[in-house]
Amino acid sequence: MTSSPLTRRSALMIAGSLPLLAAGHAASAQDAAKQDAPRDGMTVQVPSIAPYRRMKLGAFTVTTLLAGTRPLESPQETFGMNATAEEFAAASKAAFIPEDKSLNFFTPTLIETGEEVILFDTGLSPEGITTALAAAGVAPDAVTTVVLTHMHGDHIGGLSTDTLPTFPNARYIAGQIEFDHWAAAGNEGFDTKVRPLSERMTLIGDGTEVTAGITAMLAPGHTPGHMVFLIESDGARLMLTADTANHFVWSLGYPDWEVRFDADKALAAQTRRKIFGMIAADRIPFIGYHMPFPGVGYVETAGDGFRFVPASYQLDV
């Protein structure tokens, strides 16, 4: 425990010294204190965060789905491999986050176009994604299309249990370059999760339209065939950036900081600058798979990189 100079008592004293503009009657600070103190026989309700966030984009409904979180110790070893300890600590402090631990988010996105129900990535496990979908009121068999941005385990893990596909009615879409890379690599995750579905998979390239209004863009570096998707409906636009940036401060603010998960670190940095440069210039919202949930925001250029601006109600109005 640390003792803060701003205690509840001093907060009440400050509140008590301000003019109160309550409608109807002017409640005293004492009344307010009585009201929010727990009463005998009553438990204080702490709302838990729903694992989904539904938004509007033109005629499309876009829902981010929190399929899991994972704490990480010593994050510099993952997100700031070529930064000094001092640089990493200063960047963290400036953003009000600890430098010695972090929390990773795994956030697939569902897009309902009116005709198709399209899931982008599937989380670490079937349980994670189906739990989040259930909270959002979507049954796995309602998913018509599963799109894979790339084939790391935290994106393909929810595809199946043993040999049973999680989304029994879906067709699958993935990048040709990505598929070919992992098919040749002798990768257990690919062989278990992706290869059994390959008969039902359409392989695409840079510029391919998944469906009207959803266009794939090759964004390599994180993996050889990593893809992002531009979503457009009724003139509204949004980018699904997948793993182009893996942390909202360390990767966006410092695009050249090397990330352990990036296969080609120089190319990943170049792609980060290109994709987020476009998003900053066009001032369009983006959803990042590993951004803090609900994973939606904007970027502006700042210093040598970008500053993350979390979305508030822009996609609700």
- Judged by the rule CB under 5 A, the positions of this chain that interact with Zn ion are 154, 243
Q: What are phi and psi of 228, to 5 degrees?
A: -115, 165
Structure tokens at 138: 């979507």
Least distance between Zn ion and beta carbon 291 (Å) = 11
Least distance between Zn ion and beta carbon 108 (Å) = 10
Structure tokens at 265: 């670190």
Rounded distance, CA 87 to CA 202, Å? Answer: 44
Rounded distance, CA 237 to CA 214, Å? Answer: 10
**For strand 214-218 and strand 209-211, is the pairing parallel, antiparallel, or unpaired?**
antiparallel
Q: Which is nearer to Zn ion, 63 or 107 (CB)?
A: 107
Q: Which is nearer to Zn ion, 60 or 218 (CB)?
A: 218
Q: Which is nearer to Zn ion, 243 or 262 (CB)?
A: 243
DSSP state of 118: E
Q: Which is nearer to Zn ion, 53 or 152 (CB)?
A: 152
CB atoms within 10 A of CB 132: 25
Whether residue 108 contacts residue 158, with contact meaning beta carbons closer than 8 Å, is answered with yes
Least distance between Zn ion and beta carbon 242 (Å) = 7
Least distance between Zn ion and beta carbon 67 (Å) = 11
Structure tokens at 38: 């727990």
Least distance between Zn ion and beta carbon 127 (Å) = 18
Least distance between Zn ion and beta carbon 8 (Å) = 41
Radius of gyration from C-alpha coordinates of the chain: 22
Q: Which is nearer to Zn ion, 99 or 154 (CB)?
A: 154
Q: Which is nearer to Zn ion, 102 or 233 (CB)?
A: 102
| Closest of 104, 145, 100 to residue 122, by C-alpha | 145
In the three-class reduction of DSSP (H, G, I as helix; E, B as strand; rest coil), residue 132 is classed as: helix
